[in-house]
């Protein structure tokens, strides 16, 4: 990707960063009160080689354990972390850009990739009119261009030769630029990101002449944009322009991909993990059970319910909700990107009360990130709050808020795969 690696420094989100590292990587917004406040990677090119700073998600892995891994394993973990960040931001469109900073035009790439997922490579449809009588005849062109003859036997007019329409699908500048954006980005990040590829894209390779003539390419794309009126195509061309305008032609320069507020990524990753891997709770032992395989037994989603007659904008919005109608059991999960819970979580208590009507059993649970040592398939739930029964209304048998720590590394690996 760049010059040879001189050093890989590792810190953890929410943990102290040494003054030496703050100076070496010129950290400003990335640090608050002496602690890292981001997840991601920073490259610094020097004459001696590349220095890399990695800030791990909180509790993803012990820093010393990460440093003890060989270079291949370290980059594999970096790849998992950055790809999860990229996937989250792809789902957010332009909404979450305040939390995400990247010196490479990755947001433009995301928009181009989203177009590719939905429509494939853009290609131009050209209609060619040619002589022929195999297939559908283009009678309008035939009447206009052909010679007419009178058939004396039938006393009818005959036209000859016949003309037919031939539709040709061809590549144009937009096609070439799309393929370049997708292939160049994959090649550029081959060590640190898992990006998709297809045989179709591979056939284009990386056309570096587009990069070497990027001013001309941008000029031509702007010309194309000026007479394009379909919104989805305008969005594609606009993001191709953004990509080429921001792309550096100097291959040796400082680089960063930084996600502030990683709790947003954690929330999305947890929701997919619960949907794909959660299989229920062993009530006797309060064990939350998960599978390695993707099963989609429960479909979790963010819930939203109005509860206030005075102000309808006041709503209950648990992060991850599922109601098991068959067993009359509901799961109210809230993801918390923190080490431990301090004090009473009033919001979860409110959920437990206002969601209780007509429900046989509620698993009201806070989900925290845990280290790789945590069992992937069986997690012990602990009680965070248990309200005294004499304080509960008669309609509620129990009100318990559980907390669990799930293997964060496993969650993020599941999220990107």
pLDDT for the residue 93: 64
Query: φ and ψ at 83, to 5 degrees?
Result: -65, -35
pLDDT for the residue 193: 78
Task: Check: CB of residue 260 under 8 Å from CB of residue 102.
Answer: no
Q: What is the Cα–Cα distance from 189 to 167, expressed in whole angstroms?
A: 38
Cβ neighbours, 10 Å, residue 21: 19
Q: What is the Cα–Cα distance from 10 to 40, expressed in whole angstroms?
A: 10
Q: What is the Cα–Cα distance from 314 to 307, expressed in whole angstroms?
A: 7
Tell me whether residue 256 is exposed, middle or buried, using C-beta atoms within 10 angstroms of its C-beta: 0 to 12, 13 to 18, 19 or more.
middle
Q: What is the Cα–Cα distance from 108 to 415, expressed in whole angstroms?
A: 22
Residue written as tokens 């990247």?
A: 102
Task: Check: CB of residue 211 under 8 Å from CB of residue 83.
Answer: no
Task: Check: CB of residue 52 under 8 Å from CB of residue 9.
Answer: yes
Tell me the pairing of strands 100-102 and 329-335. unpaired
pLDDT for the residue 190: 81
The answer to whether the peptide bond before residue 161 is cis (omega within 30 degrees of 0) is: yes
C-alpha gyration radius of the chain: 29
- Residue whose C-alpha is closest to residue 182's, from 206, 199, 203: 206
pLDDT for the residue 148: 67
Tell me the pairing of strands 100-102 and 31-32. unpaired
- Who's near 45: CB < 8 A, 6+ residues apart? 2, 3, 252, 253, 254
Per-residue pLDDT of the chain (417 residues; tens, 9 = 90+): 456 777 899 999 999 999 999 999 999 999 999 999 999 999 888 878 788 999 999 999 999 999 999 988 999 999 999 999 989 988 876 555 678 888 888 889 989 999 998 999 887 766 656 666 666 776 676 567 766 666 666 767 766 776 667 665 566 789 999 999 999 999 888 877 778 778 888 888 899 999 889 899 999 999 999 988 899 999 999 999 999 998 876 655 678 999 999 999 999 999 999 999 999 999 999 999 999 998 888 999 999 999 889 998 999 999 999 999 999 999 999 999 988 887 777 888 999 899 988 899 999 999 999 999 999 999 999 999 999 999 988 888 899 999 999 999 999 999 998
pLDDT for the residue 33: 93
- Using a cut of 0.95, tell me whether the model's pTM lies above it: no
pLDDT for the residue 397: 87
pLDDT for the residue 169: 55
Cβ neighbours, 10 Å, residue 94: 9
């Amino acid at each position: 990707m760049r010059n040879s690696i001189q050093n890989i420094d590792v810190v953890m989100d929410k943990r102290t960063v040494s003054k030496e590292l703050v100076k070496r990587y010129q950290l400003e917004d990335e640090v608050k009160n002496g602690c890292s406040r981001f997840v991601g990677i920073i490259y610094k090119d020097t004459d001696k080689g590349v220095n890399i700073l990695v800030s791990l998600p909180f509790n993803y892995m012990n820093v010393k354990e990460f440093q003890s891994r060989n270079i291949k394993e370290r980059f594999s973990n970096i790849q998992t972390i950055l790809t999860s960040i990229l996937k989250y931001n792809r789902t957010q469109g332009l909404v979450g850009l305040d939390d995400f900073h990247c010196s490479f035009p990755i947001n433009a790439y995301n928009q181009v990739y989203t177009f590719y997922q939905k429509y494939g490579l853009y290609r131009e449809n050209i209609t060619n009119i040619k002589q022929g009588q195999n297939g559908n005849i283009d009678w309008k062109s035939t009447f206009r261009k052909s010679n007419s003859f009178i058939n004396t036997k039938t006393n009818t007019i005959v036209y000859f030769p016949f003309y037919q329409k031939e539709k040709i699908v061809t590549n144009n500048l937009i096609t070439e630029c799309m393929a370049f954006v997708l292939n160049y980005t994959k090649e550029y990040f081959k060590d640190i990101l898992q990006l998709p590829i297809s045989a179709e894209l591979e056939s284009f390779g990386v056309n570096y002449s587009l990069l070497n003539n990027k001013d001309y390419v941008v000029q031509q794309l702007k010309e194309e944009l000026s007479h394009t009126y379909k919104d989805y195509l305008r969005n594609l061309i606009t993001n191709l322009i953004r990509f080429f305008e921001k792309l550096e032609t100097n291959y040796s320069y400082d680089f960063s991909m930084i996600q502030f507020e990683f709790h947003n990524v954690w929330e999305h990753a947890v929701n997919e993990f619960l949907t794909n891997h959660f299989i229920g709770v062993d009530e006797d032992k309060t064990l939350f059970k998960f599978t390695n395989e993707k099963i989609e037994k429960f479909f979790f989603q963010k819930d939203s319910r109005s509860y206030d007659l005075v102000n309808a904008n006041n709503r209950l919005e648990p992060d991850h909700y599922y109601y098991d109608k068959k067993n009359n059991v509901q799961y109210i999960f809230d993801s918390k990107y923190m080490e431990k819970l301090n004090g009473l979580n009033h919001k979860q208590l409110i959920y437990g009360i206002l969601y209780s009507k007509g429900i046989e059993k509620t698993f009201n649970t806070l989900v925290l990130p845990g280290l790789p040592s945590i069992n992937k398939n069986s997690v012990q739930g602990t009680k965070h709050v248990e309200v005294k029964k004499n304080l509960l209304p008669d309609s509620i048998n129990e009100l318990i808020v559980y907390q669990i720590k799930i293997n964060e590394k496993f969650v993020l690996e599941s999220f990107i795969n």
